[in-house]
Amino acid sequence: MDAVRIAVDIGGTFTDFVVEGAAGRMTFKLLTSTDAPARAVLDGIDRIIATMGVAPDDIAAVIHGTTLATNAVIERRIARVGFLTTEGFRDTLEMASEHRYDQYDLLIDRTPPLVPRNLRFTVRERIAADGAVLTPLDEAGLADVAEQIRAAGVESVGIGFLHSYRNPAHEARAGAILAGLLPGVPISLSSDVAPEIREYERFSTVVANAAVQPLMAGYLAVLRDGLRTRGIAAPLLLIQSNGGLCDVGTAMRYPVRLLESGPAGGSIFAAAVAAELGLERTLLLDVGGTTAKLCFIDDFSPQMARSMEVGRVNRFRAGSGLPLRLPVVELCEIGAGGGSLARIDPLGRLQVGPRSAGSRPGPACYGLGGTEPTVTDANLLAGRLDPANFADGSIPLHVDAAREAVAAHIAAPLAVSGSEAARFILAMINENMANAAREHAIDADRSLSGRVLIAIGGGGGLHAADLARVLGIGTIVIPRDAGVGSAVGFLRAPMAFERALSWPQPLDGGDLAATRRTVTALIAQTLADLAAAGESAAARTRLTAQMRYRGQGSEIAVDIAPDDLAASDAAGRLSAAFAAAYHALYRRNLAVPVEVLAWSARSEIVLDRAVPAAPSRRAGLVEGEVRPGPAMLVDTGTTIIVPEGWQARLVPGGHIVLARAA
């Protein structure tokens, strides 16, 4: 058989598999083995080898994405992590930025830091903001710190010193000393993980990296060894939160970069579909078993951000979670999936999500022991699912179990029929997603008007038309293989490494020569990362500066051509680029000096990603055929609901387009 690439996406409910080669594409789903996630992955690999005619030598790459790291942080299933910082800054993680995400709530809840105070340690040292050494590192004192760490049973250590982004010498030395005194304990340095200004965000990021490092290193080692045991010599690649691939060694060193790895694949897939169909303004809807994700895609690129939050106390309030400083596809994620549980709250109101039934026991209709009603149970009772063709027929659905769960927990308390209760559950989950889309549009400064909805995931086709109606969207695309869309996106991702560094400099009067040397070294690091991962093809590099007017408290990202930085009139070119970017955002410019706060460089190599020929028939539609609603189209991995007043059409490329009927 010709060489194939395998993509695996672990979700909260299902683990999705895509096998793609010159001969075509094959997909399937397995229930996620929550207690040991690698088991479902390896079971799927065994199935591919045993039933699809794929030999171990035929596999060119295994590309993997997972939300294990995110879930570990949210659920606090993390290592016993210690934090070492500059004397006098022990409580930075507790004090945070002293910002209240809700100014008027006197009883505001905050997300507790990942490291309790008794596991936060300090050492005498001090680096100035310009990188000068004010107080030498107390190396002798580190021996006492190491003994305290050992006595506390710490399993992983994060180190974050003041201004180490400008001069990492003290962090590097402290890390080396502790590594010698604490053999076997992984150590993360903030100057390596997130060398950027603002100590709270930098400290929070390095602590998160240290907190999940033992878990992810153990998981990835099991997975890598399991592949080798099966005779698979192909590389194991991981999708990062920024939408690029990395090797397994990098993933073990920087597991914090994997926090949004699974959802990032869906945005890559949607961006590729948007480019294929020439859709410049789209909104991704990715509905899985546990969560729903939303992402704006403009000019065929998903929206990106330089930071993210995890574990928000208030799901819709920025600032209520733990900040992480890393490049990431900007997504809105809510607890709205097929496994989202419906309940009546103490005030007698219907609530749906964010708690999920997961893969086991799962929805009541799975017949695996679940007794509480879920969105999947409601869809089944509403006649929107074929009991014999769910998850490619791998899970027969039990209508009676769904009916009993909905009747006992929802219909009886509300004194309505079971069918009415099912409709209420679906209306609630759709409104939850619509509210999230509106909130995300405001936060991202984007408009929903005139966009095309691209729906993927196992539940995307079920809810796309309902959501589009609420949001006033008139066109929907259900891409080919939408049910495993994130995994397909992994196969479209480039090999990419991105590094950032804070380097505050005014444009007028700054040391441009030093800036050029610093940025050149930053680019060289990303290219070296690619080379270390075994990639030697020509790479393309994107350079971005974080810039602002002097005196402002926040900055904007400005794309900079490397040639402009190298030019004799570099200051003028950078100023012009900033003025254009600022005006595009705020429709004005200021007569104020400009400064650069940080630089980031991303180097990537686009891997071979030839797309197999699309079928001319899908979900009972022939290419070009128009099917008016109401209709239910049973597709591989998903079900598509075409309401009355809409029509479905299969277009070239194998995509189904839903549009409001004239």
Q: Does domain 4-73+217-257 have CATH number 3.30.420.40?
A: yes
Are 30 and 14 in contact by the 8 Å Cβ rule? The answer is yes
d(CA 143, CA 82): 15
CA dist 288 and 335 (Å) reads 10
CB 390 within 8 A of CB 396: yes
* C-alpha–C-alpha distance, residues 402 and 404, integer Å: 5
How far apart CA 365 and CA 198 sit, in angstroms, is 49
- Residue 333's pLDDT is 82
Q: Which pLDDT score, from 0 to 100, does residue 509 have? A: 82
pTM of the model: 0.91
pLDDT at 611: 77
- Report DSSP state, residue 370: -
* CATH 3.30.420.40 domain extents, the chain: 4-73+217-257
CA distance 280 to 278: 6
**Size of the chain, expressed as the number of residues it contains:** 662
pLDDT value of residue 313 = 66
- pLDDT value of residue 315: 60
Q: Where in the chain is the domain with CATH 3.40.1360?
A: 74-212
Whole-angstrom distance, CA of residue 593 vs CA of residue 505: 11
CATH 3.30.1490 location in the chain: 495-605
First to last CA, the chain: 48
Instruction: Specify the 3-state DSSP secondary structure of 246.
Output: strand
Beta bridge partners of 189: 159
Q: How far apart are CA 638 and CA 461, in angstroms?
A: 6
CATH numeric code, 495-605: 3.30.1490
Q: Which of 25, 19, 15, 21 is nearest to 653 (CA)?
A: 25
Give every residue of the chain whose pLDDT is below 50, as ranges: none
The pLDDT value given to residue 91: 94
SS3 sequence of 327-354? EEECCEEECCCCCEEEEECCCCCEEEEE
Among candidates 512, 597, 602, 566, which has minimal Cα distance to 166?
A: 597
- Which DSSP letter does residue 111 get? P
Residues 6+ apart with CB under 8 A from 396: 367, 387, 388, 390
Output the CATH code of domain 74-212: 3.40.1360
pLDDT of residue 314: 67
| DSSP-derived secondary structure for 162-217 | TTTTT--HHHHHHHHHHHHHSTT--EEEHHHH---S-HHHHHHHHHHHHHHHHHHH
Q: If you ran DSSP here, which 8-state letter would residue 613 be given?
A: P
